Structure 1
């Protein structure tokens, strides 16, 4: 029986690399994409079209593990007064627009009955936001959640057995979260990867379009 084919986008990051390694350890044939190794720049529509357009599916599992808290050298805003238009636009380009352009290729790349997950974050939940701040990051992840939800509806029109969801991995020990160590319960990247794979493999097609955390529990929009 042929081994599973998987595509991991953002495979040079902490969670992305751990996801790819976990899949390879169980015998999957993994295609890894990243800016560092493949010149895959999610802020450049031409780059996305060039790299994804050259891929040939189908992939039984597609994972999009990209995102930034803030542009390099900056941190998430603590107040409305700290919002900077250029910085906010860059966060949206990476966290929302880039994944949207990637998902344009999903119907062509995903196998019948295949599964796809896009890493989001609980702070993108509007209902769960009780402390404010982190405006660009929160808003970009909320936008991402809407994009995933809409894409899942469209995907289901072509394949009712396919699954596309937004996933919250928890706070993972990576360079992405190094500045916030000690403020939240942290998990190692391999553990986070195992949790996410268990969640996406345990969901039913009827749950496509949802937003789930690392325990498989639905996160409020």
Structure 2
């Protein structure tokens, strides 16, 4: 790899991707995008501010990242499970149009727009990857507990975006790999309210999760494009 982009680089997983790749690939050009620009002090990282609510900003960022050479890897590490006013729904009574809209805007619409502008910038001369963080709970066939309506549905919709984008990308870029990644349950603000229900050996540090996901990406081929894989390399059923 020579040139990569990480979107959502200030989050726990996005930052871990950035740090890991910066240290393990010192000659790599890393374009890191987050809501606010900041200096990492690493010579192979260029940080940019991106406005996720403005498609023009997304388009400009894709052009900046691929200005000198095509992208070998794009990682979308954005996402939301809860915030100060939104928590995962336990029942239908908890649903609201406002909450649904916000969760879908972050977990589905934003990655779709990032795919729109970043996938065309992928390298066509060799294998290149667009990977977006998804979740096992986005699997319809794996849903045995219910609840978490907005989050489940938004991730299921994201998985369909990934599948559909992979079919289209293959027509122009035979070596492109478009996938979703399930990081496991990671020690972060996103999972903090729910960590007490997770077995100790299933609660990962961001660094561990990222190292495992990068190992998964390293082994993927173009015929696996459009699918979703967990941190351990196992394919997640739709």
Q: Same fold (TM over 0.5)?
A: yes
Q: CA deviation at 1:144?
A: 0.2
The verdict on how the C-alpha distance between 1:143 and 1:167 changes in structure 2, with shifts beyond 3 A counting, is same
Superposed CA deviations along residues 14-61 of structure 1, whole A, max 9, x for unmatched, are 000001111111122211001132442323323323433443241111
Alignment partner, residue 32 of structure 1:
32
How big is the alpha-carbon RMSD for the aligned residues of Structure 1 and Structure 2?
1.4
Separation of aligned partners in 1, 2:208 and 2:91: 33
Alignment partner, residue 204 of structure 1:
221
After TM superposition, the score normalised by the length of structure 2 is: 0.87
Q: CA deviation at 1:116?
A: 1.7
Separation of aligned partners in 2, 1:142 and 1:134: 12
Separation of aligned partners in 2, 1:211 and 1:41: 27
State which of 16, 19, 23 in structure 1 corresponds to 2:17.
Answer: 19
Separation of aligned partners in 2, 1:87 and 1:47: 25
Alignment partner, residue 136 of structure 2:
122
Q: CA deviation at 1:71?
A: 4.3
Give the number of aligned pairs: 219
Is 1:176 the counterpart of 2:190? The answer is yes
* Higher RCO (C-alpha under 8 Å, 6+ residues apart): 1
Separation of aligned partners in 1, 2:106 and 2:57: 13
Q: Which runs of 5+ in 2 are unaligned?
A: 38-47
Whether the 8 Å contact between 1:42 and 1:93 is mirrored in structure 2 is no
Per the alignment, in what secondary structure is the counterpart of residue 149 of structure 1? helix
Per the alignment, in what secondary structure is the counterpart of residue 132 of structure 1? coil
Alignment partner, residue 149 of structure 2:
135
Per the alignment, in what secondary structure is the counterpart of residue 36 of structure 2? helix
Per the alignment, in what secondary structure is the counterpart of residue 166 of structure 1? strand
Q: CA deviation at 1:179?
A: 1.1
Per the alignment, in what secondary structure is the counterpart of residue 4 of structure 2? strand
**What are the residue-to-residue correspondences of 1:1-221 with 2, within 5 Å?**
4-26=2-24, 27=26, 28-37=28-37, 38-55=48-65, 56=67, 57-112=69-124, 113-184=127-198, 185-221=202-238
Separation of aligned partners in 2, 1:117 and 1:61: 8
Separation of aligned partners in 1, 2:70 and 2:151: 32
Per the alignment, in what secondary structure is the counterpart of residue 59 of structure 1? coil
After TM superposition, the score normalised by the length of structure 1 is: 0.94
Separation of aligned partners in 2, 1:178 and 1:36: 23
Separation of aligned partners in 1, 2:225 and 2:108: 19
